[in-house]
Amino acid sequence: MPVAVDDPPLPTNLQLEVTSACNLRCLMCLVRYRPPVNKLAGAMRPELFHRLVEDLPALRRLTLQGLGEPLLSPYLMEMIAAAVERDIYVGFNTNATLLTRRRAEELVASGVDWMHVSLDGAHAEAYQRVRDGADFDTVVANLAGLVAAKRAGGSDTPWLRVVFVAMRDTVAELPELVRLLGRIGVDELYVQNLSHSFSDADLAVPADVLSGVDRVAVGPVAIVTVLRKDVKKARL
């Protein structure tokens, strides 16, 4: 005899990789060890995005992030607008290399709720050794530009978190990074351990790379530093 089974509830949180393309080849990222992806070929098409979001009527939080760099997606602003229109809490991670002042102003005006920016050092040498292809001064200037765009627009959003991946060569730079971000006006600093061991990587990743991950990783770290003193509640 058939047994009635209730349908499981649809998710309220969703993470979508809006592009698999990236403009950096970071030391600890799998993107470094695969062929480059064209930004158009790697972008999720808007039709698929809208179908997925529309099929989830209870969706409350949307993360527009995977291995790629979201600012490379030509459809990012359209996706943010769709989420904001439905009052979905939306944001994404970025390396901020493409975060020009014009783009910063567009993002502030878009209503995007949060942005997480990867910054793994307080000096160019340490940072650029990890984030291959990035320029430290450009990223710091772009961060400052986003803070300035928020102030000019009288907006508390996007909530700006800097994410620091703790490694043996960079962890000593944390105190100075806190001071740097405080001067810029970043809302929050989050420190995390290297979270990928490459143990699931295919044989295309050289053995010396796998062993190299052990050399740069430190022990478990999870530190949240709220830098803005005028905010009553930090969005974590």
31-77 pLDDT, tens digit each: 888 888 888 889 999 999 999 999 999 999 999 999 999 999 999 99
DSSP conformation letters of the chain: -----PPPPPPSEEEE--B---S---TT-GGGGS----TTTTBPPHHHHHHHHHT-TT--EEEE-SSS-GGG-TTHHHHHHHHHHTT-EEEEEE--TT--HHHHHHHHHHT--EEEEE---SSHHHHHHHSTT--HHHHHHHHHHHHHHHHHHT---SEEEEEEEEBTTTGGGHHHHHHHHHHHT-SEEEEEE-----TT--TTS-HHHHHHHHHHB-S--EEEEE--TT-SS---
What confidence score (pLDDT) does residue 71 get? Answer: 98
pTM over 0.85: no
Contact present, 69 and 21 (Cβ < 8 Å) = yes
Q: Tell me: pLDDT of 175 over 90.
A: yes
Contact present, 80 and 53 (Cβ < 8 Å) = no
67-108 pLDDT, tens digit each: 999 999 999 999 999 999 999 999 999 999 999 999 999 999
pLDDT tier, 212 (very low <50, low <70, confident <90, very high otherwise): very low
What percentage of the chain carries pLDDT values higher than 90?
67
